[in-house]
Amino acid sequence: MTDRVDRDLGTGPAAAGTTGVRAVIDPDTALWTEFTEASTVEAFARAWLALQCRLISGVSGGLLLLGTPDRGPFSPAAVWPSPRRNLKYLTAAAERALRERRALLLKREAGPDGRERYDVAYPIEVAGRLHGVVVLDVAARPEPQLQGVRRQLHWGFAWLEVLFRREEAARDAAVRRRMQSVLDLMATALSHDRFEGAATAFVTALATTLDCDRVSVGFVRRGRAHVRAVSHSAQFRKQTNLVRAIEAAMDEAIDQRGIVTHPPLPDAPVRVSRAHGALARQHGGGAVCSTPLAARGRIAGALTLERPAERPFGASDVELFEALASLAGPALEMERREDRWLVRKAAESLGRQAGLLVGPRYLGRKLLAAAVLGAAVFLATAEGDFRVTAPTVMEAGVLRAVVAPFNGYIVDARVRAGDRVREGQVLCALDDRELRLERLKWQSQQEQLVKQYHEAMAKRDAAQVNIVAAQIDQAKAQIALLDSQLARTHLRAPLEGVVVRGDLSQALGTPVERGQVLFEVAPLDAYRLVLQADERDIANLTVGQRGSLLLAASPSEPLGFTVEKLTPVSIAREGRNYFRVEARLDTIPAKLRPGMEGVGKIDVGRRLIVWIWTRQVIDWIRLALWKWLP
């Protein structure tokens, strides 16, 4: 066994050679040294996988896949025992473990040597994020030992977690430093009240922080960038060749709406940098970078930075410039807009709105402005029919009441509300038994008095004759009264029409008093339309005006009417006053009934449409002003 190991390591007797000294090399020590001194992720992963495969017995191959957390793609970061060895047969287990995000122990069919083997796949998750997977090809062994393999991998993942967390901490530290620099620069810019001072302080601090020879900031005016501040210069001539070259570089970045660097970065998008190259050649700057400044959804300006050729701009610098531009652009643009004369602000606002309406873009806004202008002209000149709207109710032109002629009890009810009746038709009957008994009483008393009368005549008693004659007349009067009451026990319809009120079918046997209204009957050919006009519209109404009506019972059949009377009687309802307006229908449909409600509109005349729509608001404003003004 020792000889085989020595041959593998090159340390056997043959390796001693001429020195005669046997060199002893510990492979584990070399791997641990490589592991602890690893400076890159690839070296760390290679050493880690080799140590795991040596710590676990029976491993013939190992594969470690790493990639962007949770997104991938996951590619081989280390292969054991040799990167040249083909371990594609382990990719199936790796893909399944990545997909299911759980450890797998997959048994493989026996190979040519007849030995069974297992694929042990274990996903690498740190803080709930999937970073990769490790797959080992191990020899068959009892179940407890297989669990030991998984346990060893689980413990070994702690080193990878340290690696990932260390890289994440380094990235977070870089981001914090970058954000701290950005915040410090923004604090410098916002510490001044005037725009010129804020811009100059900002570019000067930026040049000092980023070790730049010159930093310039410019803003767009009339479609071109104009330099507003240069680092370490409180004043500068705006017509110099340097300023023109800087403005050309700014225009180049603004037109392409992205960062432009000279010389360009290897992995950066291809952009035109002709003006940047000219600025670098003609004015001594070896490296130039310009980034647009966005504010309020548009490009407001640009920032140009210059460095010597030996310190070109890198990817980290570009990331910092992007973060800085996203914060500095709105802040500086706000400072610039606020630090202007009020007249200039108003003129610029009007010019911008006018430009949007007459310029080549914003077709929707132009159409909207044209539509608003057309609508205003139309409303100011067009006239329409002005109609007063009011709720309506149908009332009977003639209403007859059927009342109880005397105190009694109801014994029969033949109609109720809604029934059509003929003139003289019996509506109901009252109990006449007491009346008939009373009539029999007076009739018998009359017969007795007649006998007494004849006896007094026979005796020639003149006084008694007069008294008895008077009593006979009284009895006859009572009988006549009772006959009249008996004739009125059957209440009849006073006219042909419809019963609009009264239902005694549920009141048989109940008493009624003299004068009590039992039924109301209205004719079917005489109606009166009553409109409830708002007091705000009553001044627009006159007798003789025409209108149309829609009833709730037949909303598809309009009815014409004519105003006949404006009553001075007002009705308070829902916090407003309404006046009663009576009208006559042109035609009376057969299905029309008293009490039907609807909505009527009275034609007043032609008025401006804008006045029709705004009259109530205008009247309310007038009343409010009259109420509150002194």
What are the tens digits of pLDDT across the range 592-621?
888 889 999 999 988 888 888 888 899 889
What residue type is 4 in one-letter code?
R
Distance, CA of 518 to CA of 273 (rounded, Å): 104
Q: Average pLDDT of 159-181?
A: 69
Contacts of 26 (CB under 8 A, 6+ apart): none
Phi, psi of 432 (to 5 degrees): -110, 10
Distance, CA of 279 to CA of 287 (rounded, Å): 9
Q: Average pLDDT of 319-347?
A: 77
Q: Average pLDDT of 480-507?
A: 83
CA angle 384, 390, 393 (to 5 degrees): 140
Q: Which residue has the higher pLDDT, 272 or 175?
A: 272
CB 535 within 8 A of CB 579: yes
Q: For the purposes of burial, counting CB atoms within 10 Å of the CB of 194, is it exposed (0-12), middle (13-18) or buried (19 or more)?
A: exposed
Give 390-406 pLDDT, tens digit per residue.
Answer: 999 888 777 788 888 88
Low-confidence winner among 140-144, 268-272, 435-439 (lowest mean pLDDT): 140-144
Of 304, 296, 303, which Cα lies nearest the Cα of 333? 296
Distance, CA of 39 to CA of 34 (rounded, Å): 9
The pLDDT of residue 172 is 63
Q: Which residue has the higher pLDDT, 278 or 331?
A: 278
CB 295 within 8 A of CB 334: yes
The pLDDT of residue 520 is 86
Distance, CA of 546 to CA of 529 (rounded, Å): 13
The pLDDT of residue 178 is 62
Give 32-67 pLDDT, tens digit per residue.
Answer: 776 666 667 777 878 888 888 887 887 888 888 888
Q: What percentage of the chain reaches a pLDDT higher than 70?
A: 89
Distance, CA of 309 to CA of 471 (rounded, Å): 149
Distance, CA of 497 to CA of 480 (rounded, Å): 32
Contacts of 595 (CB under 8 A, 6+ apart): 393, 394, 395, 500
* Mean pLDDT of the residues in the chain: 81
CB 219 within 8 A of CB 348: no
The angle that helices 241-256 and 274-282 make with each other, rounded to 10 degrees, is 160
Q: Which residue has the higher pLDDT, 629 or 173?
A: 629
Residues 474-509 as b or e (16 or more Cβ within 10 Å = b): ebeebbeebeebeebbebebbeebbbbbbebeeeee
Q: Could you give all domains of the chain from N- to C-terminal order, each with its CATH number? A: 38-169 (3.30.450.40), 191-339 (3.30.450.40), 400-520 (2.40.50.100), 526-628 (2.40.30.170)
The pLDDT of residue 193 is 67
Per-residue pLDDT for 182 more than 90? no
